[in-house]
Amino acid sequence: MSGYELYPKNGEQMWEDYKRYSDLNKISFDDDLILKSIEESHDIAFHQISDFKPETSIKLPNFLFPPGLDPDLELEKITREAFNKKDFGDKYKLYKERLEKELSVIKENNFSKYFLTTKEIIKLASSKMLYGSARGSGAASLVAYLLNIIQIDPIKFDLMFERFMRLKQNSMPDQDLDFSRADELKDILISEWGQDNVVPISNFNTLQLKSLIKDISKFYDIPFIEVNSITTQIFEEAVPLAKAKHNIIAGAYVPDFNECCEFSPSLQNFLKKYPQISEHIKILQGQIRSLSIHAGGMILSDNISNNMPLISSGKKLQSPWAEGQTARNLEPMRFY
Task: Specify the pLDDT at position 313.
Answer: 79
Number of C-beta neighbours around residue 108 at 10 A = 14
Give residues with Cβ within 8 angstroms of 319, minimum separation 6.
199, 200, 201, 202, 299, 308, 309, 310, 311
DSSP code, position 44: I
Distance from C-alpha of 329 to C-alpha of 220, rounded to nearest angstrom: 42
Inter-CA distances, 306 with 14, 30, 196, 310, Å? 38, 45, 9, 10
Distance from C-alpha of 333 to C-alpha of 273, rounded to nearest angstrom: 53
One digit per residue, the tens of pLDDT, for the chain of length 336 reads 445 555 567 788 888 888 888 888 888 888 899 889 988 988 888 888 777 777 777 788 888 888 889 999 999 999 999 999 999 999 999 999 999 999 999 999 989 999 999 999 999 998 889 888 778 888 999 999 999 999 999 999 999 999 899 888 777 888 888 889 988 998 899 999 998 899 988 888 889 999 999 999 999 999 999 999 999 999 999 999 999 999 988 788 889 999 999 999 999 999 999 999 999 999 998 888 888 888 878 889 899 888 888 988 777 888 887 776 655 555 655 554
Task: Specify the pLDDT at position 136.
Answer: 85
Task: Specify the pLDDT at position 48.
Answer: 81
Distance from C-alpha of 17 to C-alpha of 11, rounded to nearest angstrom: 10
298 close to 117: Cβ distance less than 8 angstroms: no
Distance from C-alpha of 135 to C-alpha of 114, rounded to nearest angstrom: 17
Task: Specify the pLDDT at position 7.
Answer: 58
183 close to 165: Cβ distance less than 8 angstroms: no
Torsion of CA 68, 69, 71, 73, to 10 degrees: 120
DSSP code, position 131: B
Amino acid symbol at 8: P
In which region does residue 182 sit, left (phi positive, over 0), alpha (psi from -120 to 50) or beta (all else)? alpha
User: Which of 78, 87, 83, 148 lies closest to 113, judged by CA?
Assistant: 78
Signed CA dihedral, 184, 134, 331, 167: sign only: positive
Amino acid symbol at 73: L
> What is the Cα Rg of the chain in Å?
28
The phi, psi pair for 310, rounded to 5°, reads: -130, 155
Residue-range domain boundaries for the chain: 11-48, 62-180, 208-286
DSSP code, position 142: H
User: Which of 277, 275, 280, 235 lies closest to 259, judged by CA?
Assistant: 235
